[in-house]
Amino acid sequence: MPELPEVEQAARTLGAQISGATFDGTVRVAWSRTIHEVPSDVLGAQLAGLSVQGWQRRAKWIVLPLSNGMTFVAHLRMTGRFAVLPRDNADDAQQRVAFGLTDGREVRFIDQRKFGRIRLLSAPELATLDADHGPEPFDPSLTPATWYTTLQSTSRVIKTVLLDQSRIAGIGNIYADESLHRVSVHPLKPANTLSKKKATELLAAIRAVLRQAIDNGGSTLRDYRDSYGAKGTQQDNFQAYGRTDQPCGRCGTAIEKITVGQRGTHFCPYCQKAPR
DNA sequence: AACGACACCTGGAGGC
DNA sequence: TGCCTCCAGGTGTCGT
């Protein structure tokens, strides 16, 4: 589900519900890999008495700073979502972990495919997580010049580079396709063959696509919900992703689907000319 | 070092 | 209806 806009929305709606709340140390685990097999009593002991200081997002990670300097981080992967509910509410069949709060509620992590992960990080571990990722798309330090340099540094195809979290953080399969369609760049074009002008346009397109998606609460294809359970609406604005055989909004040519780096990839064969 | 292939999981959709 | 195959917002790991 979740790319930058969805994670941003999930983090915001989780933070809105539990900023200031305190973990009571209760941790109920239905799928231990979600918490990296850390024993529930160990994790509970670490969390007990800590309060949530706010919320952030780094790449596709939800980041909740805690009152002792540690950080609660979660990655939703494909199907993860949070819910904050009274303790006596029935468990969801796909619920993997629940963290008790001192106010009688629970922070629940629901995740059909079980790929999502939650951890408690020390400051150095958080620094490592940060260092493992490239710049945030909206970071002012990511300039047309630095972006062009990044693209020049590899001959991998552009779609794959957009998905490489160490080059730029937060873009996933949907918004990669949408960004490339927006600037009429073929997904198989080698990154180092984009002109400086095209690279600049692509950066602007990435920002525009992500901004619109954030403003629309992200995209819900099937599973994604924010931390209140609400769906996003950005899927109604897709120009390429999931529109196989439907007309391109610019030229009317049928959108094609190919596989790039094992990911379904949608593009307009007329607007986005194949590289030679 | 960098890159591609595969693993990790469940369940919905579509073909027969 | 039932079975089977394919596919999905992601990324960690392993082999080349």
Q: Measuring from the CA of residue A166 to each C1' atom, give the nucleotide at the shortest distance.
A: C11
Residues of chain A with CATH 1.10.8.50: 144-267
Question: How far does the CA of A19 sit from the C1' of B16, in Å?
Answer: 53
d(CA A62, CA A56) in angstroms, rounded, equals 6
Query: Which top CATH class is A4-131?
Result: alpha beta
Answer yes or no: is A165 CB < 7 A from strand C.
yes
Q: Measuring from the CA of residue A160 to each C1' atom, give the nucleotide at the shortest distance.
A: B3
- Catalytic machinery residues of A: 2-3, 60, 263
What is the C-alpha R_g of chain A? 20
Answer yes or no: is A266 CB < 7 A from strand C.
no
Query: Tokens in use for A14?
Result: 């989780």
Question: How far does the CA of A155 sit from the C1' of B10, in Å?
Answer: 36
* DSSP-derived secondary structure for A160-217: HHHH-TTTSSS--HHHHHHHHHHTT--TTSBGGGS-HHHHHHHHHHHHHHHHHHHHTT
CATH architecture for residues A144-267: Orthogonal Bundle (1.10)
Answer yes or no: is A179 CB < 7 A from strand B.
no
Element housing A268 (H / E)? none
In tens, the pLDDT along A67-98 reads 999 999 999 999 999 999 999 999 999 999 99
Residues of chain A with CATH 3.20.190.10: 4-131
d(CA A77, CA A127) in angstroms, rounded, equals 21
Answer yes or no: is A6 CB < 7 A from strand C.
yes
Element housing A77 (H / E)? none
Question: How far does the CA of A260 sit from the C1' of B3, in Å?
Answer: 13
Contact between A96 and A46 under an 8 Å Cβ cutoff? The reply is no
The helix, strand and coil proportions of chain A, stated in percent and rounded to the nearest 5, come to: 30, 25, 45
pLDDT digit string (tens) for chain A, length 276 residues: 599 999 999 999 999 999 999 999 999 999 999 999 999 999 999 999 999 999 999 999 999 999 999 999 999 999 999 999 999 999 999 999 999 999 999 999 999 999 999 999 999 999 999 999 999 999 999 999 999 999 999 999 999 999 999 999 999 999 999 999 999 999 999 999 999 999 999 999 999 999 999 999 999 988 899 999 999 999 999 999 999 999 999 999 999 999 999 999 999 999 999 987
On the 0-12 / 13-18 / 19+ scale of CB atoms within 10 A, A99 is buried
Answer yes or no: is A59 CB < 7 A from strand C.
yes
**Quick one: pLDDT at residue A223?**
85
Between the two ends of chain A, the Cα-to-Cα distance in Å is 33
d(CA A196, CA A48) in angstroms, rounded, equals 52
Residue A99, beta-bridge partner list: A27, A107
